[in-house]
Amino acid sequence: MSRIHSGRKGRAGSHRPYPVRAPEFATLDKAEVIEEAVRLAKTGVSPAQVGTILRDSHGVPSVRSVVGQRMTPLLAAAGVKPDIPDDLQALLKRVVHLQRHLKTNKKDLSNRRGLNLMESRIRRLALYYKRHKLLPEDWRYTSATAVLQVE
């Protein structure tokens, strides 16, 4: 399979095999992990950061192996789902950073092309999320709204 914006093939990354049951060294049980994840998500932390905090601070190697479901559906069931998905939010943050860079460096043409490629990736991802009802139908990407959504 090839990459989106390059002529190269790329290489598939390996994935960690998830065990069926929770490891013995995990100190928190299922209810405590859910409670802590919801508490962290209510403070405005992204689901990926919630998993990292649980791993580093509480000794939970994988929320999925302890609870039995992934972080985003877990938070959606608790009612603290983020309004924009994580990968789209990360792309918006990168676009805002590039826009600030290009305001001061107007002749940086390679990064201007990178900005165009990233914006097209955002539009393509937004179409996917609208089709799967994870974004509202009236959501549109503009460079001005990207700044507002990131901050």
Q: Residue 143 is part of which domain span?
A: 86-150
- 103 and 63 part of one domain: no
Give the per-residue pLDDT at 1: 52
2 versus 14: the higher-pLDDT residue is 14
Structure tokens that stand for 37 in this block: 């994840």
Q: How confident is the model at residue 29 (pLDDT cuts 50, 70, 90)?
A: confident
Tens digit of each residue's pLDDT (9 = 90 or more) over 67-121: 888 998 999 999 898 888 988 999 999 999 999 999 999 999 999 999 999 999 9
- CATH number of the domain that residue 103 is part of: 1.10.287.10
Residue that has been written with the tokens 């826009």 in this structure: 99
For 74, phi then psi, to 5°, come to -65, -45
Q: CA 140 → CA 126, 127, 130, 147, 149, distances in Å? A: 8, 10, 10, 13, 12
Q: How confident is the model at residue 2 (pLDDT cuts 50, 70, 90)?
A: low
Tally of CA atoms within 13 A in the half-sphere of 130 that contains its CB: 12
- 63 and 90 part of one domain: no
Of 54, 78, 102, the one marking the end of a domain is 78
**Count of domains for the chain:** 2
Residue 118 lies in a domain: yes
- 94 and 49 part of one domain: no
- Is residue 122 scored above 80 in pLDDT? yes
Average pLDDT of span 24-49: 89
